Amino acid sequence: MRRERVSDDIYVFTSELYAQVTASAVVTREGIVVVDTLPFPEETREMIEFLEGLETGPIRYVVNTHWHGDHTYGNFLFDDSVELVCHRRCQQAMLEYGEQALEESRETSPLLEEVELRIPEVVFDDGQMVLHVGGKSVEMTLTPGHTADSIVAYVREDKVLIAADTVMPVPYFVWGDRREFRQSLEFLKNYPLESIVQGHGEVLLRGEIPKAIESSIRYLDILEAKVQEIVAQGKGPNELQKLTIDKCGKSRIPLNGLVQDLHQANVYQVYKELTSKVAV
């Protein structure tokens, strides 16, 4: 696990075991707000050990930004006194899909054998929820697209957006909706920002943010247009292989090349949607 400090009071923890997924902590003398966990217990334990070793207040909250296991599987490692928080959609998704997803994940990774699904009990509905701890305001807002339940957490005093998978090196919407994703990315422009913590990959600094957001919006537009062209020409799925990530304006380098796999999944998702409409 890699640890970095993005402001005096905010730490980011990046997994070295899975897809550079991130978790964050807003640290105050009155308590700590953790945003997301790391997927494998050994890394989440390392994060908790570090936070408990600080001369600050205890961990008071864990916020889950969406239901996917790489952001929630560490929930069970926190003390029962810690309140788990999420959007109601996230709670519902974990109740509906969580156990099956965990069983499937265990089949491919023995490192998840001890994981127990722990579902947040404190939820909020559409709109916002703000946690006030030690002079910090952590503002949580629904930003669907990656998933229907995705949220971001904005630390007002530091102007840091913990964006989770709403901001990634490439937008990934197979579990969500690309049009909602585009709207959510547009919405992020309203925040005054010093940095963005991506759900996977490097922290974005102030000068990088506008370009990164526009790049993701443009990617979604180009991807849809190019797949529409393939469908209009009556070409089959084999043509989709040629639509590489760089042809849609994104680099194939981030996340050790994993972005290419995410992109291809996006391509097939758009093709499936457009061809089903044509069939109807």
Assign residue 130 the CATH number of its domain.
3.60.15.10
> What whole-number percentage of the chain has pLDDT above 70?
99
As a whole number, mean pLDDT of residues 3-25 equals 98
Domain span at residue 142? 2-214
Could you read off the pLDDT of 98-133 as tens digits, one per residue? 999 999 999 999 999 999 999 999 999 978 999 999
Is 198 in the same domain as 243?
no
Same domain? 227 vs 202: no
Q: Which of 190, 214, 238 is the last residue of a domain?
A: 214
Domain boundary among 214, 232, 253: 214
Indicate the pLDDT class of residue 237, thresholds 50, 70 and 90: confident
- For residues 34 and 140, state if they share a domain: yes
Query: Rounded mean pLDDT of the chain?
Result: 96
Residue 194 has pLDDT above 50, yes or no: yes
Count of domains observed in the chain: 2
Are 225 and 100 within one domain? no
Would the pLDDT of 54 be above 70?
Answer: yes
Last residue of a domain, one of 170, 186, 214: 214
Q: Are residues 79 and 208 in the same domain?
A: yes
Q: What is the pLDDT of residue 199?
A: 98
**DSSP-assigned states of every residue in the chain:** -EEEEEETTEEEEE-SSSTTBEEEEEEETTEEEEE---SSHHHHHHHHHHHHTSSSPPEEEEE-SSS-HHHHTTGGGS-TTSEEEEEHHHHHHHHHHHHHHHHHHHHH-GGGTT------SEEE-SSEEEEEETTEEEEEEE--SSSTT-EEEEETTTTEEEEETTS-SS---TTS-HHHHHHHHHHHTTS--SEEEESBSPPEEGGGHHHHHHHHHHHHHHHHHHHHHHHHTT--GGGGGG--GGGGT--S-TGGGHHHHHHHHHHHHHHHHHHHHHH-
Q: Does 280 score more than 60 pLDDT?
A: no
Summarize pLDDT for 158-172 with one digit per residue, the tens: 999 999 999 999 999
